[in-house]
Amino acid sequence: MRQSYLRLVFVAICIASSPLFAVAASDISGVVKSSKGLEAGVWVIAETTDLPTKFTKIVVTDDQGRFLIPELPSANYKVWVRGYGLVDSSKVSAKPGASLNLKAVIAPNAKAAAEYYPGMYWYSMLEIPKASEFPGTGEKGNGIPTFMKQQHYWVDTVKNGCQSCHALGSKGIRQVPEFFTKMGNGDSFAAWAHRTQAGQAMGYMALVLGRLGPDKGLSLYADWTDRIAKGELPFAKPDRPTGLERNAVYSMWDWSTPKFYMHDAMSTDKRNPTVNANGLIWGAPEESTNLVPTLDPVKNIASSVRMPVLDPKTPSSTGAPRGPSAYWGDEPIWDGQSSIHNHIMDEVGRMWFAARIRPVPNPDFCKAGSDHPSAKVVPLNESLRQISMYDPKTKEWALINTCFSTHHVYFGHDANNTLWTSAGPPNSGVVGWLNTKKYFETRDEKVSQGWTPLIIDANGNGKRDEWVEANQPLDPNKDKRVMAAFYGVQPSPVDDAIWGQAMDVGFSRIDQPGYLIRLNPGSDPSNTALVEIYQSPEGTFGPRGLDVDSKGVVWTVLSSGHIGSFDRSKCKGPLNGPSTAEGKQCQEGWTLYRLPGPQFKGMDPKGSADGAYYIWVDLHNTLGLGKDVPIASSNGGEALIAVVNGKLVNLHVPYPMAFFTKNVDGRIDDANAGWKGRGVWTTTGTRTPFHSGDGSKDMYPKVFKVQMRPNPLAN
Amino acid sequence: MKKIVFFLLSLTLWMAQSSFAQSNQAAAALANQSGCMACHKADGKLVGPGYQEVAEKYKDQPGALEMLMQKVKKGGAGTWGRIPMPAHPQLSDESLNILVTWVLKGAPAQ
């Protein structure tokens, strides 16, 4: 009897101390407990510097506080717990195969707990000028420029001017370095003025400040950080991950250098995500360097390839005016000429980049008097970025001199393998493309490219006619041009349409709302293309980025704090003719999803303070949440946010703090390996990786891989 | 003879105007290239003061050219509000001279 009792006690102890789920030799598993008991929905982080590049893997505990970190490369790891309501636990040393009992530490107070909140919980404390303060009355009035006509112009500028490059509420931003405070002789306004002049982005920072009204903008930012310095805390708290959110596995690798920053990471051909299985991940370092970073995620090796330019006089960020940096002093840390903004992989693994290869003035064949068919329609004098292509097999570059500017690039689904491009800002007023089939046949960039203005069929006769310009009144006998260019671009997988999206005032800096734009190329696009424009519903604003699902539904993110879908097949009214010239038709086509988290005080609670840089549709279920699931890059939530069956799944990346990404790319490495053979890839997208974590010159940009398991303990 | 003198005078005037226009265009291009126009415009405040206001303030003031060249190079604060002018040590003395001379003319485009 006594022996049986002891055996029972032994078994009970074993049950209590072991995870009781299948564990492989490459896993680290265990249980997380705090003084309050088992901790569900907290993150367990394992990190090693033993591999060729620093590697980290993160999982979430299940409802019993259990965790399993799967498929770890053989190495020595430091393992610790992070979670809402906690402060970081002590780091425990472990190797794959270990089973750990981790002791989570309850946050001693609200301030300590808030250090782990996503940035939006902090920047939602920023005061937004009241609606009654708009339109602005200028420098001698309320400090808000007169062209700021409505409150949402201001919010859109904060999100698409400030937040589009910076993880706004992160510790590195909400705390003003002593360096700037000293420069400003203790005046926080002056400290912010010096801060916005630091580094080689000074010119762009000034541009955005000029839009906000420099004195008003700096005053409000200084007031925000002053209140935080005095102890004010976020007025809202985030929830711990639940449901599907606990099934996520986040892997991350350092790449490039702490001085450089990334815009995007690419892994495969979006049309066929089995291309380049297990191959290199490619980065786009924008203004920071000509060195295109690569990551071998199998061997954990980071490397780079140098992109050439066509003309040595290609502008460089080296000479950009700059003020001293709190991190880098007077050192010009960026030396990029190629301005690689975005890239895409083709069907055989070649990389295509939106990149600068020469100075701004265009060659003669782009200009008036040229016999180029597109130049005859709209001559172009300038291009800010062109196209470059790298073939990893031959290690050769092709520099393709386009007349139009490029910003994002995506392949069509047509036989010509057309590469459709966006231009970013609206100034060019055209959409450009490269017929890559013809390019490979001829290697002639002139005959392989084309562009068209964006012309609305305003007279409703179903064909392109003479047009009036965007600033001219409608003419019943003519069509009408919209002075926009694409920012987001995506060829539809279901028909010939090319969908684009034009930015709202905060980015475009013209008094015109943001649009979704459907371009129907016709038989001779330079002469036949017609567009339809669509504004988002009343109360929302600021589309940024778009993608199209396999049913032809368009997805975008809005700076009003929403994910929006637009289904053109639901439209009831006419889609051409004079009533469509402003894009207010077909409100019935829209469905909105509010991004999670708090709203700025005094603003419509139907929106959110969160802002997302872009959205990407998982056409092939590479993540494991289903085919056609859209994934928004939530910059305020420091997360990827997926829409699954109408509900939002918030995949917050908790480490390092200030996860900030601009877009994702999904790849299937092994279609037969279940969740292990799939994942979406992204990278650190902030221009200042050194603001991440606690703020440091040692913060590398990272490659992130996100995978979804069937449950939190799957391996 | 009078016609020839008139022609020569006109030609000289045209060449001088053309030369001024070219130097103004070159200065404007240098201002763009050097990032000045991110914070300034000819007429009215952007982040810093408008160049026409600067020209008016320092009109006929001896030593204004040299003083402003130093201010652009080393930075300054307090003259035009609370936002400081950052230092521009990368600009050569020749570039500073071209830029400030142009600013003191009110930043003409032509």
Q: Is the pLDDT of residue A584 over 90?
A: yes
Q: b vs e for A211-242, b when ≥16 Cβ sit within 10 Å of the residue's Cβ? A: bbbbbbbbbbbbbbbeebeeeebbeeebebbe
pLDDT digits over A230-243, tens only? 999 999 999 999 99
Q: Is the pLDDT of residue B20 over 80?
A: no
pLDDT for residue B23: 86
- Residues in chain B with CB shorter than 8 Å from the CB of A212 are none
Map out the domains of chain B with their CATH numbers.
22-104 (1.10.760.10)
Which residues neighbour A368 within 8 Å (Cβ) at sequence distance 6 or greater? A375, A379
Residue type, A78: K
Lowest mean pLDDT among A16-20, A269-273, A443-447, A463-467: A16-20
Cβ <8 Å between B77 and A323: no
Q: What is the C-alpha to C-alpha distance for residues A263 and A430, in angstroms, rounded to an integer?
A: 23
pLDDT for residue A173: 97
B82 touches A: beta carbon within 8 Å: yes
Tokens matching residue A443 = 């290697």
Q: Quick one: average pLDDT of A309-334?
A: 95
Cβ <8 Å between B86 and A190: no
**Is-cis flag, bond preceding A689, omega within 30?**
no
Q: Is the pLDDT of residue A8 over 60?
A: no
Contact between A80 and A92 (Cβ < 8 Å) = yes
Interface predicted TM-score (ipTM) of this complex, two decimals: 0.82
Q: Is the pLDDT of residue A166 over 60?
A: yes
Residue type, A191: A
CA dihedral of residues A492, A494, A497, A503 (deg, nearest 10): -30
Q: What is the C-alpha to C-alpha distance for residues A472 and A489, in angstroms, rounded to an integer?
A: 27
pLDDT for residue A6: 45
pLDDT for residue A246: 98
Which residue in B has a C-alpha nearest to residue A193's C-alpha?
A: B83
Query: Which residues from A are below 8 Å from B when comparing CB atoms?
Result: 139, 184, 187, 189-190, 193-194, 197, 202-204, 206-207, 209-210, 214-215, 218, 319-321, 323
pLDDT digits over A181-203, tens only? 999 999 999 999 999 999 999 99
pLDDT for residue A12: 41
pLDDT digits over B47-106, tens only? 999 999 999 999 999 999 999 999 999 998 889 999 999 999 889 999 999 999 999 999
Q: What is the C-alpha to C-alpha distance for residues A126 and A599, in angstroms, rounded to an integer?
A: 10
Q: If pLDDT is split at 50, 70 and 90, which confidence band does A147 have?
A: very high
Q: What is the C-alpha to C-alpha distance for residues A336 and A346, in angstroms, rounded to an integer?
A: 25
Lowest mean pLDDT among A25-29, A85-89, A146-150, A690-694: A690-694
Q: Is the pLDDT of residue A15 over 70?
A: no
Burial (CB count within 10 angstroms: exposed 0-12, middle 13-18, buried 19+), residue A144: buried
Contact between A553 and A488 (Cβ < 8 Å) = no
Q: Is the pLDDT of residue A587 over 60?
A: yes
What is the full DSSP assignment across chain B?
-HHHHHHHHHHHHHHHHHHHHHHHHHHHHHHHHTTGGGTB-SSSBSSS--HHHHHHHTTT-TTHHHHHHHHHHH-B-SSSSSSPBPP-TTS-HHHHHHHHHHHHTT----
- Residues in chain A with CB shorter than 8 Å from the CB of B45 are 139
Q: To the nearest whole angstrom, how far is the Cα of B73 from the nearest Cα of chain A?
A: 11
Which residues neighbour A333 within 8 Å (Cβ) at sequence distance 6 or greater? A199, A200, A259, A260, A288, A325
pLDDT digits over A40-75, tens only? 999 999 999 999 999 999 999 999 999 999 999 999
A252 DSSP β-pair partners = A56, A704
Q: Quick one: average pLDDT of A504-531?
A: 95
pLDDT digits over A542-566, tens only? 999 999 999 999 999 999 999 999 9
Mean pLDDT of chain A: 96
Q: What percent of chain A has pLDDT over 90?
A: 95
pLDDT for residue A11: 40
pLDDT for residue A100: 98
Of A139, A187, A203, the CB nearest to B35: A203
pLDDT for residue B10: 64
Q: Quick one: average pLDDT of A254-263?
A: 97
pLDDT digits over A373-402, tens only? 999 999 999 999 999 999 999 999 999 999
B30 touches A: beta carbon within 8 Å: no
B53 touches A: beta carbon within 8 Å: no
- Residues in chain A with CB shorter than 8 Å from the CB of B77 are 190
Of A194, A203, A209, the CB nearest to B84: A194
Give chain A's largest Cα–Cα span: 103
Cβ <8 Å between B38 and A214: no
**Is-cis flag, bond preceding A363, omega within 30?**
no
pLDDT for residue A671: 97
Cβ <8 Å between A321 and B35: yes
pLDDT for residue B1: 62
In total, the C-beta contacts within 8 angstroms joining chain A to chain B are 49
